[in-house]
Amino acid sequence: MRQDLLLLLTFFSLLSCGDTSDEPTDAWIGGEIVNPKYDYVVLMKDRQIIDTMHLDENNFFRYHIDSVEEGLYTFHHGEYQIMHFSPGDSLLLRVNTTEFDESLSYSGEGARKNNLLIDFFLQNERENQLLPQFYSLSPEAFEKKIDSLTEERKKFFDVYLKKEESSESFVDVIDANIKYDQLSKKELYIARHSKKMSGTDLQEIPASFYEHRKNIDYNNELLKNYYSYFRFLNRLFDNLAYDKYKNEESYDRYSYTHTKYKLGIIDSLVESQLLQNSLSRTNTRRYLLRAGDPEETQEIYSLFEKLNKDNADIAEINSLKQSVENLMPSKLIPNVKLVTVDNTLKDLRSAITKPSVLFFWTTESSVHYQNIHTKAAELREKYPEYQFIGINTDTHFRKWRSIVRALGYNDQLEFQIEDIENAQQALVLSSISKSLIVDENGIILEHHTNLFRPELETQLLGYINE
């Protein structure tokens, strides 16, 4: 495989050498996907698909961009990452899907800047994991701490610039990365000390701590799909939305109230249509996945339609809205097709013979499927009035069946989804942790719960006593 990678890099180098023009306008991308989940990779810019690149028999791909616009691109294969392209780049990547971000590396022309991008991304992820231990600091001490982290990154980039010639576009991206990662941390600190959490010592935050909000560019076209910028705006707007209702309700970023105010803030502060589209889609989707009231759902959808002008976004959110409305309490569970361990088909509704809790799992996470089956067994002992039905979301029948049998799961209560794409839409399977509670007739009682939530047992008891 390494030899194939070297051959591909040599191929790109020869192509670059063959370009006799002073200023190339094209670019190449290629590479290897280790443990691929699909047989293709998708290249996008500004949320628009440029092309779908198919993997060969050795899980390699290559693609030529005839006329490349300098800036940020994303490549998708289950997960996604950001890349920076300039005319003349010949990027070769290698990524292992089992550790997508951590394994991603580049070689070829344009590799150093993109390796720097992923290094900064991973560094920020590590810093965010450490961040909660700094929340107890005073605002002054917290600011000093994150300023020191920011200064380290600036120094690192200064050293890079002395060694590498960089375009203005790339410098702007890295400067924004440093700036908005720092400001995101400040917004997280503000959030931590503005939510009335029991048992928490809240810090009094001085006005000076909010100074950064006076100089925010809400319409940066270069960064419109860059995670550092997009994440900062989302965190800022969450805090601004909470300020609107903090005296009436507790903080809940998934609630109708929060989403309503947040969409209003996006409408008032963001003028870029592309940013409005992205932000309204993300936040409306987040709300819908937990929505439980038809009237509130329609109101949020109407606000979304006012903001979003992308036809694909509108179609996606409208489809999700319809699926969510079909899953609301008092509705009949969608009758998706299931596969039994005997490899026969069974309707979901026919599998429900008494009040039931439906939970989902995948063979890709052994820790999760073992934990959730252990939890289901505990709950089954405590609440024999309910069936606990395990539904597998994979497409590998034999692998699923072998796990069910090897671990001694009740094969009368274990099924695999027959058409995962249809079921994901019908059951709104946005998270493997999701569970549903239905009565003996398949009428939905709870459409978005979780076996590990403390309130689940309260819900189960409540329906028993009705």
Cross-sheet strand order for the sheet of 71-77:
48-54, 40-45, 71-77, 79-85
Mean pLDDT to the nearest integer, 318-338? 96
Query: Number of folded domains in the chain?
Result: 3
In a domain? residue 331: no
Q: Let me know whether 143 and 238 are in one domain.
A: yes
Task: Round to whole Å and give the CA distance between 463 and 355.
Answer: 9
Per cent of the chain over pLDDT 90 is 86
Residues 6+ apart with CB under 8 A from 140: none
Q: What is the pLDDT of residues 252-273, one digit of tens each?
A: 999 999 999 999 999 999 999 9
Mean pLDDT to the nearest integer, 293-316? 96
Q: Let me know whether 273 and 140 are in one domain.
A: yes
In a domain? residue 332: no
Q: What is the pLDDT of residues 123-174, one digit of tens each?
A: 999 999 999 999 999 999 999 999 999 999 999 999 999 999 999 999 999 9
Q: Let me know whether 202 and 158 are in one domain.
A: yes
In a domain? residue 252: yes
Mean pLDDT to the nearest integer, 325-342? 96
Burial class for 198, CB neighbours closer than 10 Å (0-12, 13-18, 19+): exposed
Q: What is the pLDDT of residues 205-242, one digit of tens each?
A: 999 999 999 999 999 988 888 999 999 999 999 999 99
End-of-domain residue from the set 326, 357, 373:
326
Q: Let me know whether 320 and 371 are in one domain.
A: no
- Name the pTM for this structure: 0.87
Confidence of residue 198 (pLDDT cuts 50, 70, 90): very low
Q: Let me know whether 356 and 447 are in one domain.
A: yes
Q: Let me know whether 252 and 397 are in one domain.
A: no
Q: What is the pLDDT of residues 45-71, one digit of tens each?
A: 988 999 999 999 999 999 999 999 999
Mean pLDDT to the nearest integer, 66-81? 94
Q: Which of 277, 257, 253 is nearest to 266 (CA)?
A: 277
What CATH number does the domain containing 76 carry? Answer: 2.60.40
Mean pLDDT to the nearest integer, 91-112? 95
Average pLDDT for the chain: 92
Q: Let me know whether 435 and 356 are in one domain.
A: yes
Q: Let me know whether 85 and 26 are in one domain.
A: yes
Q: Let me know whether 380 and 363 are in one domain.
A: yes
Q: Which domain holds residue 17?
A: 2-109
End-of-domain residue from the set 109, 134, 160:
109
Q: Let me know whether 132 and 64 are in one domain.
A: no
Q: Let me know whether 180 and 281 are in one domain.
A: yes
Residue 17 reports pLDDT greater than 60: no
In a domain? residue 78: yes
Q: Let me know whether 305 and 372 are in one domain.
A: no
What CATH number does the domain containing 434 carry? Answer: 3.40.30.10
